Amino acid sequence: MPVGATAVAIYVTVPIGTGSAVYAGTDSSGVYRSIDGGATWQRIISGLTNLSSNLGALTGSRSNPRDVYVGTPSGVFHLTAAPQCGNGALEEGEQCDDGNTANGDCCTSTCQFEAAASSCSDGSVCTSSDACNGAGVCVGGPSLDCDDGNICTTDTCDSATGCGHTDNTDVCDDGNACTFADSCSGGTCGGLTVACDDQNACTTDSCNPASGCVFTNNTAACDDGNACTSGDTCGGGSCHGGAAVVCNDDNACTTDSCDPASGCVFSEQHGGLRRRERLHLRRYVRRWQLPWRRDGDVQRRQRLHDRQLRPRQRLRLHEQHGSLRRRERLYLRRCLRRWQLPRRRGGHVRRPERLHDRQL
């Protein structure tokens, strides 16, 4: 009501409660109506000819709460309160009242339903293509696609702010065959590097992100594990021995060979030892080829030979070929036994000597 106006009559429609209309008659400004408990007032002047007339009585119609009757000294007047659209109260003749008189929210400026499928907004940025349902309600359309195409983020949508992408630690696949145990970190998928090593010096190890480990044959220098070859090189994925090592110590009395594990080996030849023994025997046998003498002289020569032969035999004990030394000693013993003949004439002695020479 205007400032300074005095209410001289009040009428409250029944039933009394929230949304009940309250009528107030003033002394000079006419009748006012409020449906929000007096917060706002709507002036009703339709049908009232003399606004300055003093209102003596104020009553309403039981069948229509917008009808009110005013008693004045000039007579009784019938006033009709028109619906007030946009006041947030659903009144007679209104299909809706959303508290405003704007269009596009499924309730028109005249408080009527907007047609179905009319464009609107449900107040959430997570929906699109919102439309009215024809009954004053805006229905959200399809949900907004918040997928950023990154498996290492969790995609969400807030009705006020929209899409959100939060980093996660999920198991993933980075599409790289050169990594394994892939997982998300900081919004990126990655893993540990695959160790491509076939333990073969004759292959070059690498990794192809599309297929994985690759082992390519090379021709690098290598070691075939054989000490009897040199200049080894790779070929066809394996190590091939080079030229054979020449094992020659320029010693005719050793057998030159090669051990694949240790290399050249120079072993004393058995034949060389036998040649030395034959030369030794020849030198001492000449001492026994004496002129015709008595058997006693021959026996003394044999004892002298034995004494000279013993130091030579002790020297051979220090040589490596023990089995050969034993065979040589047995050979000498057999030869010496043939010379130890009974006391006979000189002709019998010379025949065994010649026989010994032929065997030697």
The per-residue pLDDT for range 175-220, each reduced to its tens digit, is 999 999 999 999 999 999 999 999 999 999 999 999 999 999 999 9
Name the residue type at position 295.
D
pLDDT tens for residues 237-289? 999 999 999 999 888 888 899 999 999 999 876 555 556 666 666 665 555 55
Instruction: Tell me the three state secondary structure of residue 218.
Output: coil
When the pLDDT of each residue in the chain is averaged and rounded to a whole number, the result is 77
Select the more confidently predicted residue: 342 or 118: 118
pLDDT at 254: 85
CB-count burial class (<10 Å; 0-12, 13-18, 19+) for 228: middle
Q: What is the mean pLDDT of residues 325-351?
A: 57
Q: What is the mean pLDDT of residues 131-138?
A: 94
Q: What is the mean pLDDT of residues 214-239?
A: 94
Q: Are 35 and 87 in contact (CB under 8 A)?
A: yes
Phi, psi of 284 (to 5 degrees): -85, -25
Q: Is the pTM of this model over 0.75?
A: no
End-to-end CA gap in the chain: 161
Percent of the chain exceeding pLDDT 90 equals 42
> Token match 């007047």: residue?
77
pLDDT at 252: 84
Q: What is the mean pLDDT of residues 138-154?
A: 93
